Amino acid sequence: MGFEDVIRITGYVTTREDFPAYMGVRDRFISDPMPVSTLLIVSGFTRAEFLVEVEVTAAKLP
């Protein structure tokens, strides 16, 4: 499987200022057709040094 098999991305960032950097990295790896994508701003993660979390779902069609 590769990035071309990604069908859904959910990203979590801790500040609005992280939005452009997150989108820049995401867009470097994902191409058309774009997967469903959601980005949420959260108050924090279990470890203070964590700033971003990403969940990815991929599906390989026969």
From residue 28, give the alpha-carbon distance in Å to each of 2, 22, 48. 13, 10, 26
Instruction: Return the sign of the alpha-carbon dihedral for residues 45, 49, 54, 55.
Output: negative
> What pLDDT score does 21 carry?
94
**Tokens representing 6?**
């990604």
- The reported pTM is 0.84
For the chain, where are the alpha helices, taking DSSP H only? 19-29
Could you tell me which CATH number the domain at 3-58 has? 3.30.1330.40
Enter the tokens of residue 51.
């700033």
Cβ neighbours for 29, distance < 8 A, ≥ 6 positions apart = 3
Sequence spans of domains, the chain: 3-58
Give yes or no for residue 62 having a pLDDT over 90: no
Rounded to an integer, the average pLDDT of 14-24 is: 94
Please say if the pLDDT value at position 35 is more than 90. Answer: yes
